[in-house]
């Protein structure tokens, strides 16, 4: 974790008395001094919850000697739970915040997860928490349910975390498993059907619609790919492109899928409807996937609705949390950019699961990336704890040469830092 020199922090702390409140700003600070002062003295609302950090009035507040937890975990899905268990296995304390905002909230069953295929997501999370409680009661702790983290403030060697219940804690590291959410079309029936017949992942839900009717909805180039991914499960597929195919759409499809018109239309005989969808209407109130059936009403004067059992869609996503904006984390498009160890552009903050940019979105990935972040966090904390205890007598042994002492510490940091990757490789990562 990179630290600025102490004189900078002392100067910064002295400036706090001028501010009524301070937060990590969500936009670049203004360049003029007057605007900068105005920015600092505003009482900024984060996620509709206001909080002050005017308690940073001394170096002790900025560089605590005692920490509430080793790690704060933000997110209670598979990634957050995996981080909690992994940290407990090496006697690291963690506090997990669960806002209960899950991408798969409406999904009926988990699939393609060893030992959990067909499990209800809520039952999975409950079982994991119960197991962690039973095995690691001294290390894994939970914030009150439905508690949302509203702010994370970097300290000199860790972080102070604020929540919407008025709580605040300190931690040496933060693991964000905050996830993403799908931006569904603003059309009648989509929100109700999402996760219940309308889905985006063939591996998670596709098998429930084997040999059944399927609509693939999306821009032509992505719809072709989705149709190909479903074709081993069913050949009764209709593509709906969301409107007329433009020259640009066709050129993009030609580049990605050479010969698509011949293969898709003539060989696979997949109809392509150049319409948009006005609404989805369920034809049954039964809850099991085997009973799913929808009427798909198209625009442009299409007289009869399509009848389908399921719909595979391709829609944009967005970050569930706004913490990445507050912390000014470096982004890769709409995803948080991370290193191979899952650390973000802010040292000590790790981003795992769907929210990061390693281009995988499933339960396995969430758990794997959380494991990697937990290993890296543990090793980096162990390194920091060691360096903090290197006796100041080294300076005296070097004849009072502080530059020599600094170089010795840098060498130690470099050598110990390599242990992160070596240890992870030893664990099979």
What's the CA gap between 179 and 160, in Å, rounded? 21
In the chain, % of residues over pLDDT 90: 65
Dihedrals phi, psi of 427, to nearest 5 degrees: -85, 0
Q: What percent of the chain has pLDDT over 70?
A: 77
Tell me which residue has tokens 């690691």.
136
Q: Does residue 395 surpass a pLDDT of 70?
A: no
For 188-208, letters b (16+ CB in 10 Å) and e give: ebbeebbbbbbbbebebbbeb
SS3 428: coil
φ/ψ of 232, rounded to 5, equals: -70, -20
Higher pLDDT, 247 or 64: 247
Report for 199-208, 210-219, 403-412: range of highest mean pLDDT: 210-219
Total Cβ atoms within 10 A of residue 4: 9
* 256 close to 221: Cβ distance less than 8 angstroms: yes
Question: Residue 99 class from Cβ within 10 Å (0-12 exposed, 13-18 middle, 19+ buried)?
Answer: buried
* CA–CA distances in Å: residue 380 to residues 66, 98, 387, 396: 17, 25, 11, 27
pLDDT at 133: 97
Strands 159-163 and 168-176: antiparallel
Angstrom distances, CA of residue 119 to CA of 115, 130, 132, 270:
9, 16, 18, 33
Assign 359 a pLDDT band (cuts: 50, 70, 90): confident
How far apart CA 420 and CA 398 sit, in angstroms, is 29
Mean of the pLDDT values across residues 357-384?
Answer: 93
Q: pLDDT: is 280 or 50 the higher one?
A: 280
Is the model more confident about 399 or about 280?
Answer: 280
Residue with tokens 């149709």: 227
Q: Summarize pLDDT for 55-112 with one digit per residue, the tens.
A: 554 566 777 889 999 999 999 999 999 999 999 999 999 999 999 999 888 889 988 8
Run of H or E residues at 366: helix 363-388
Q: What is the DSSP string of 108-159?
A: ----SSTTTTT--HHHHHHHHHHHHHHH-TTTEEEPPTT--EEEEEE-SSSE
Check residue 346 and report its DSSP letter.
S
Q: Would you list the domain boundaries of the chain?
A: 6-50, 64-181+318-386, 190-313, 390-426
Equal fold, 64-181+318-386 vs 190-313: yes
Residues in the chain, how many? 429
**Whole-number pLDDT of residue 408:** 64
Three-state SS at 58: coil
Q: Is the pLDDT of residue 6 over 60?
A: no
Compute the average pLDDT of residues 336-365: 94
**Confidence class for position 420, pLDDT limits 50, 70, 90:** low
* Dist. CA 160–CA 186, nearest whole Å: 38
Average pLDDT over every residue of 308-329: 94
- What is residue 31's predicted lDDT score, i.e. its pLDDT? 34
Mean pLDDT along residues 223-248: 96
Q: What is the pLDDT of residue 94?
A: 98
Nearest to 340 by CA among 350, 348, 331: 350
The pLDDT of residue 21 is 28
What is the CATH number assigned to the segment(s) 190-313?
Answer: 3.50.50.60
Query: Which are the contacts of 75, defined by CB distance < 8 A and separation ≥ 6?
Result: 96, 97, 98, 99, 176, 177, 178, 179, 353
The mean predicted confidence, pLDDT, of the chain is: 83
Position 221 pLDDT exceeds 60:
yes
In the Cβ-directed half-sphere of 136, how many Cα atoms lie within 13 Å?
Answer: 23
Tokens representing 309 are 């059992």
Average pLDDT (236-250) is 96
What was the pLDDT predicted at 306? Answer: 95
**According to the model, what pLDDT value does residue 59 have?**
60
**Domain 64-181+318-386 is classified in which CATH homologous superfamily?**
FAD/NAD(P)-binding domain (3.50.50.60)
Specify the pLDDT at position 8: 39
Residue with the bigger pLDDT between 4 and 289: it is 289
Q: What is the largest CA-CA distance in the chain?
A: 91
pLDDT band at 402 (very low <50, low <70, confident <90, very high): low
* Listed residue (337, 369, 373, 377) closest to 353, CA to CA: 369
Angle made by CA atoms 184, 103, 98, in degrees to the nearest 5: 140
pLDDT at site 405:
62
Of residues 297 and 302, which shows the higher confidence score?
297
Locus of tokens 């393609």 = 112
Residue of higher predicted confidence among 43 and 59? 59
């Amino acid at each position: 974790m990179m630290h600025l020199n102490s004189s900078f922090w002392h100067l910064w702390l002295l400036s706090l008395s001028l501010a009524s409140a301070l937060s990590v700003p969500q936009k670049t600070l203004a360049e003029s001094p007057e605007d900068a002062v105005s920015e600092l003295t505003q009482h900024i609302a984060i996620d509709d919850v206001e909080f002050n950090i005017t308690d940073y009035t001394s170096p002790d507040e900025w560089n605590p000697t005692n920490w509430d937890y080793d790690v704060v975990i933000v997110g209670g899905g598979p990634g957050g739970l995996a981080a909690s268990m992994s940290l407990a296995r090496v006697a690291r304390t963690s506090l997990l915040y669960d806002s209960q905002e899950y991408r798969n909230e409406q999904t009926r069953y988990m699939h393609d997860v060893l030992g959990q295929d067909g499990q209800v997501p809520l039952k999975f999370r409950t079982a994991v928490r119960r197991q962690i409680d039973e095995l690691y009661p001294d290390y894994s702790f939970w914030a009150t349910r439905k508690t949302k983290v509203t702010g994370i403030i970097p300290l000199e060697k860790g972080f102070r975390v604020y929540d919407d219940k008025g709580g605040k804690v300190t931690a040496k590291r933060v693991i964000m498993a905050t996830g993403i959410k799908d931006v569904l079309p603003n059309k009648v029936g989509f929100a109700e059907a999402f996760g219940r017949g309308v889905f985006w992942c063939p591996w998670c839900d596709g098998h429930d619609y084997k040999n059944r009717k399927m609509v693939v909805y999306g821009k032509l180039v992505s719809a072709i790919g989705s149709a190909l991914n479903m074709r081993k499960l069913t050949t009764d597929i209709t593509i709906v492109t969301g409107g007329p195919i433009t020259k640009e759409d066709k050129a993009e499809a030609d580049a990605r899928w050479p010969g698509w018109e011949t293969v898709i239309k003539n060989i696979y005989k997949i109809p392509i409807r150049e319409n948009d969808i006005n609404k989805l209407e369920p034809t049954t109130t039964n809850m099991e996937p085997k009973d799913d059936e929808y009427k798909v009403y198209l625009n442009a004067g299409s007289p009869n609705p399509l009848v389908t059992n399921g719909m595979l869609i391709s829609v944009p996503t967005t970050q569930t949390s706004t913490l990445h904006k507050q912390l000014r984390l470096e982004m890769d498009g709409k995803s948080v950019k991370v290193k191979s160890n899952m650390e973000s552009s802010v040292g000590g903050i790790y981003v795992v699961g769907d929210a990061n940019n390693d281009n995988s979105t499933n339960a396995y990935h969430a758990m794997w990336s959380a494991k990697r972040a937990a290993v890296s966090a543990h090793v980096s904390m162990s390194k920091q704890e060691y360096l903090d205890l290197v006796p100041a007598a080294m300076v005296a042994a070097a004849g009072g040469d502080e530059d020599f002492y600094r170089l010795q510490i840098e060498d130690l940091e470099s050598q110990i830092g390599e242990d992160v990757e070596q240890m992870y490789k030893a664990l099979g990562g």
